[in-house]
Structures are given as structure tokens and as C-alpha cells.
Amino acid sequence: MKATKMVSVNNVSFGFDDSRQKIIDNVSFVARKGQFICIMGPSGCGKSTMLRIIAGLVKPSSGKVYYMDREVTEPTVGMSFVFQDFALLPWLTNIENIKLGLSLINISAEEKTKRAQALLEKFGLFGFGDYYPNVLSGGMKQRVGIARAIVSEPQVLLMDEPFSALDDLTANTLRSDITYMLQDKNISVNSVIMVTHNVEEAVELANKIVILSNKPAHIKEIIHINSKAPRNKRSEEFTSIVDRIYAALAK
């Protein structure tokens, strides 16, 4: 039996109101429980727009997105977003930034602080709660960004190039944190949809890679990877999938 459908993208098309140009052209795919999906494609093809549509931040011109069996028409507590530029508010402390992720959740202020504090510690940021984001390194800022996203205990994590602003070493650490987080039974997230330009990152982490064409974006190819993540970059499987993605992107 196939795992539960967490997100279904059904025949989604999109164009901005003020331009007749189509950005996304009839895209459909499914994210199931346990899956890590990467969306790839040329710059400007509509990947971020696609992710925002899934998050309920942008409405599709036609087609529908479902979170489980509910149509997505606005941001929902079951899905959270991680931004490329971290998007922390500089006038709030780190703990307050994490608590922003709880604004739609109806729990007491003490409970909010407790949950945010627990994640701060889990993410190696003990003692930084009362400081402002400007004292943090890029990797620490993105940890706060991820903590803010998961503090509401979402099942689906949507990430738009979350590691691209970080140096290689920091990005690597965060990638393995994310992989182990998905395997951690105490963390609610059970599927991830991530936009990335980094082919190796996609092959390291994803079970399914959705490759989009130039604008208007349609699906060129969907590549499934069955072995367990994170994958060994020196394996034959790894390099052959990397080659396949480059070929699909260049087609």
C-alpha cells in the first residue's frame, strides 16, 4: 500500500494578474508521508512561486493544492515555510522569532516559551534566546528559521533554497540535521518539499526530484530514488543520478 498523500498538486497553472505571461503550466505531483521532494529547474522558471502556491501564500490561476484531503486556500498549521534569506525579524529576539511560528496556535504564552526554548536547545542555540538575530552566524540564523518553522509541529516542511546562502561546511551540517530530523519520531515533520539549485544536494537528500522546464514551468521529468538518505556521494548510483539530472535540466 502506498503511504498517505500529504500534499497533492493537481493541474496547477499560474500567471500574475498584471501580465498575460504564464509562469506555471499545468503542474501535478504528490508528496507522500516519508518523502523528501526536491523541485529543480532553471532560474526564474517559477519554483519559488510553486512553493508559495503550495504554502497557500499565492493562489493558483487554475488547478488545486490539497494538504491531506483539505484544499489549500491560505497558510495552514500543517505546513511551514523555511526561507532562503532566513527572514528573521531583526527587532525581535531569537526566542521571539521562533515564537512567531506559533501565532496561529492556540496555547498559553508559557507553553509557547517552553516549546521555543526546547527547540533553541535542540538546535544548539542555548543561551542565544534573548539576543537579537544580528549576533548569529548564517548557519545559526537558519537554525532559528527552521526552529520557527517546526515549533508549530507541522507535518510538511516547505523550504526554498534553505542552504544556498550558507558556506559549504555549514550547509552540510544543516543538511544532515534535516535528514536526522525527518527520522526523529519526536519531530512532527514527515515530509519535505524543497526547492534547490544544487544537484548534489538533491541527490543526497531526495526520494523524488521534480524537474521543471523554463518558464512557463511544466514538469520535464520526475526522478525517483529508492535508496536511504543521506547517500554516499562517491557511489555509482549517486553519480549516475547526478548525470541524469544535468541531462534533464539541459534538455
Ligand X SMILES: Nc1ncnc2c1ncn2[C@@H]1O[C@H](COP(=O)(O)OP(=O)(O)OP(=O)(O)O)[C@@H](O)[C@H]1O
State the residues that interact with Mg ion by CB under 5 A. 48
Pick from 43, 103, 106, 108 the residue near ligand X by CB under 6 A.
43
Q: How far is the CB of 82 from ligand X (least distance, A)?
A: 14
The interface partner of residue 129, options being Mg ion, ligand X, none and the CB cut-off 5 to 8 Å by kind, is: none
Q: How far is the CB of 212 from Mg ion (least distance, A)?
A: 11
Residue number with CB closer to Mg ion (26 or 48): 48
CB of 23 to ligand X, least distance (A): 5
Q: What is the 3-state secondary structure (H, E, C) of the chain?
A: CCCCEEEEEEEEEEECCCCCCEEEEEEEEEEECCCEEEEECCCCCCHHHHHHHHHCCCCCCEEEEEECCEECCCCCCCEEEECCCCCCCCCCCHHHHHHHHHCCCCCCHHHHHHHHHHHHHHCCCCCCCCCCHHHCCHHHHHHHHHHHHHCCCCCEEEEECCCCCCCHHHHHHHHHHHHHHHHCCCCCCCEEEEECCCHHHHHHHCCEEEEECCCCECEEEEEECCCCCCCCCCCHHHHHHHHHHHHHHHC
Q: Which residues in the 66-95 window bind ligand X by CB under 6 A?
A: none
Stretch that binds ligand X, among 41-49, 57-65, 113-121, 223-231 (CB under 6 A): 41-49
Handedness of CA 64, 220, 38, 58 (dihedral sign): negative
- Least Cα distance to 37 among 172, 193, 177 occurs for 193
Give CA torsion, residues 222, 228, 229, 231, to 10 deg: -90
Q: In terms of CB distance, is 96 or 161 closer to ligand X?
A: 161
Residue 25 or residue 160: which is nearer to Mg ion going by CB? 160
Task: Give the contact letters, 3-22, x = binds to ligand X (CB under 6 A), - = no.
Answer: -------------x--x---
Which positions from 195 to 234 touch ligand X by CB under 6 A, shown as an x/- string? --------------------x-------------------
User: Binding marks (x or -) toward ligand X, 156..195, rule CB under 6 A?
Assistant: ----------------------------------------
Q: Which is nearer to ligand X, 47 or 112 (CB)?
A: 47
Residue 35 in the binding site for ligand X (CB under 6 A): no
List interacting residues with ligand X (CB under 6 A). Answer: 16, 19, 23, 43-49, 215
